[in-house]
Amino acid sequence: MASHQKPRALVTGGSSGIGLGIVNMLTAEGYNVGVLDVQLDASQQAWGRVVDVSDSEQVNAAIAEFAEDGLDALVNNAGIVRDNVSWKMTDKEWQQVIDVNLTGVFNCCRASIPFMRSANKGSIVNIASINGLRGKFGQTNYSAAKAGVIGLTKALAKETARFNVTVNAIAPGMIDTKILEDMSDAQRESAVNEILLGRIGKVEDVAGAVAFLCSERARFITGEVIKVDGGQYI
């Protein structure tokens, strides 16, 4: 493995929303950042590959390419929503969310851990959701997938600790991204009323927590789920 001065981090779903915020935060903190996403932003300076995280062959090839020069941190952020009530949910709506939001996380972890194991160090941060802890009406697929990510995080932490690799999850609450654009003012007001700190979260709130978990300051934290929700779910 070639030597490298800057720590190297790979972020899935890093072209927009929370993922882009994470890429920008890690870059500002001195990381050499790579992005895996189904669509890349041409204006981004980061190394990037078009990858469907639910496709293990695509994942294996891209991670092997990036990690050839080292892999210090993996942030599994890629995710989709296909909301519907359970009795109307189609097989496709269910499976697509499980494939991307849960299997995709597993695929990226499985491909990354051997590189971290060889280096005897590394940090993995999985983006879960408070809805993986509490469930949400109309999101049985998403809630189940994110609950699975939390279980996966804890199991991986037990498997990788011997290699000095930490594995943690972030569970965001309501964060101000494009997904919220379809919400009415009444829906936003109702949501804010649930949040103790009285505001919708910013992308930077999540990115800051991710950057902390990737840093040396968090080397004694593993198997944890940190809620970044302003007290929305206690």
- 179/194 Cα distance (integer angstroms): 18
DSSP 123-179: EEEEE--THHHH--TTBHHHHHHHHHHHHHHHHHHHHHGGGTEEEEEEEE-SB-SGG
- 173/195 Cα distance (integer angstroms): 9
Element (H, E) at 119: helix 104-119
In the set 31, 106, 115, 142, the catalytic residue is: 142
Is 31 a known active-site residue?
A: no
3-state secondary structure of 232: coil
Report the catalytic residues: 142
